[in-house]
Amino acid sequence: MYFRKDLNNRPVPKISVPHKNTMMCLNESFLDPFDVIKETFLDEMKDVHVNRYFSNITHKLNIELENYLGIPQSGFLFGNGADEMLYNLFISVRENNDSFATTLSPSYFDYSTYCKAVGLGIKFIDLDFNFDFSVDDFIQQANDDNCKLAILCTPNNPTSNFLSDEKIFRILSELDKPVLIDETYFEFSGKTFIDFIDQYPNLIIIRTFSKAFSAAGLRFGVIISNEDNILQIKKTMTFFHSGLLTQTFAYSILKNKKIFLDHNKNIILMRDQMYNEMKKISKIKVYKSATNFLLFTAGEDSLSLFEYLMEKEIAIRNVSSGKILKNHLRVTISSHEDNKLFLDTLTQFFNKQKEKR
């Protein structure tokens, strides 16, 4: 065999996502950003020459990011999505075959995918039925010498709740190793740990343009920390990993950021409306959310509901796993029309179930 031994028995990672007319499964935005940023983008592109490696757009983008994040350039690095920044971070912390990361379960599925990709182990501390966890257990496991990184996602995907601030601060204070806080859903939750970067030398944050900035297909994410940590991570990265077209697009989004941030306010309103509507359906248990999606369950009917929605060309995510998320589904907040279609289809499903019984 030509490659790393641990790859032999690993399946090729696959994203099993249904493609339906109404996509409410990947926590994407329904707003296509091109119309919003077109003028800025085309104008900027006049000065961006892709026959060259370097362009002034990189500098302009860094300035816009400094303004948006409120921290100096020395405190962040951008790349192709939060995923790529996770990948780079995992490479930079992995020491040897015994190295592992500690995270919570259930949480973002691909922490595990990318840990395995770079040969970093991953160990989990389970969330309980309140989507809370034992901070003592977490710290104990993460204190193992072979644990090289702690990962916390808040608000957490797929449970949609905040982790406790108190527990996060305890983890940051008590662990003498990097603690990654994944703030992918920050623009919907409004809560960030960015202000604590100077206070905690081990704090690392990840953000993305895939959700609140309507640009999942752009592939743009940012890793944030103090200058020393950022320089270490940079040592593991290739020079020109971020294309100039992507940078120009990301810059144009930030130049028009108010439109996106206002749009998010609507998403939050629609999320809370949808939550209230779903709460009225007695067969459903829906959870309060600090993100752009809702976690819910229809108990034993969840799988047939999922399939019924698929038949009706509506794709949501089946996040059923383990004890606490058995029969749980996740739906992304979309346009008024999509949300209404989803709710109407839920009602239809339960009416049909009633007829059957």
Residues within the interface to ligand PLP (CB under 6 A): 27, 81-83, 108, 153, 157, 182, 184, 208, 210, 216, 221
Nearest approach, Cβ of 154 to ligand PLP (angstroms)? Answer: 9
Distance CA 248, CA 345 (A): 40
Contact, 259 vs 112, CB < 8 A? Answer: no
Name the residue whose CB lies closest to ligand PLP. Answer: 81
C-beta neighbour count of 210 within 10 angstroms: 22
Beta bridge partners of 285: 297
- Cβ proximity to ligand PLP: between 33 and 221 the closer is 221
Least distance in Å: CB of 2 to ligand PLP? 29
Shortest Cβ 155–ligand PLP spacing (Å): 9
Q: How many CB atoms lie within 10 A of CB 140?
A: 12
Least distance from ligand PLP to the Cβ atom of residue 69, Å: 15
Residue 154's nearest CA partner among 59, 275, 289 is 289
- CA-nearest of 119, 117, 118, 135 to 127 is 135
Give the number of other CB atoms < 10 A from CB of residue 120.
23
CB of 198 to ligand PLP, least distance (A): 24
Q: How far is the CB of 291 from ligand PLP (least distance, A)?
A: 8
**Closer CB to ligand PLP, 99 or 157, in the complex:** 157
Cβ proximity to ligand PLP, 160 vs 202, nearer residue: 160
Is 33 or 345 the residue whose CB approaches ligand PLP more closely? 33
Strand 203-208 and strand 147-153: pairing?
A: unpaired
With respect to ligand PLP, which residue has the nearer C-beta, 24 or 346?
A: 24
Q: Which is nearer to ligand PLP, 44 or 182 (CB)?
A: 182
Least distance in Å: CB of 271 to ligand PLP?
Answer: 15
Quick count: other Cβ atoms within 10 Å of Cβ 272? Answer: 14
Instruction: Specify the residue, 219 or 349, whose C-beta has the smaller distance to ligand PLP.
Output: 219
- Cβ proximity to ligand PLP, 88 vs 184, nearer residue: 184
d(CA 338, CA 293): 13
18-22: which pairs have CB atoms within 8 A and are 24 or more residues apart?
A: 18/310, 18/315, 19/315, 20/310, 20/313, 20/314, 20/315, 21/313, 21/314, 22/313, 22/314, 22/315, 22/334, 22/338, 22/341, 22/342
User: C-alpha distances in angstroms, 125 versus 128, 134, 142, 150, 155?
Assistant: 10, 8, 10, 11, 17
CA distance 170 to 117: 30
Please say which residue, 205 or 346, places its beta carbon nearer to ligand PLP: 205
DSSP 177: S
- Rounded to 5 degrees, what are φ and ψ at 275? -55, -45
Question: What's the closest the beta carbon of residue 54 comes to ligand PLP, in angstroms?
Answer: 25
Q: Report the nearest approach of ligand PLP to the CB of residue 214 (Å).
A: 12
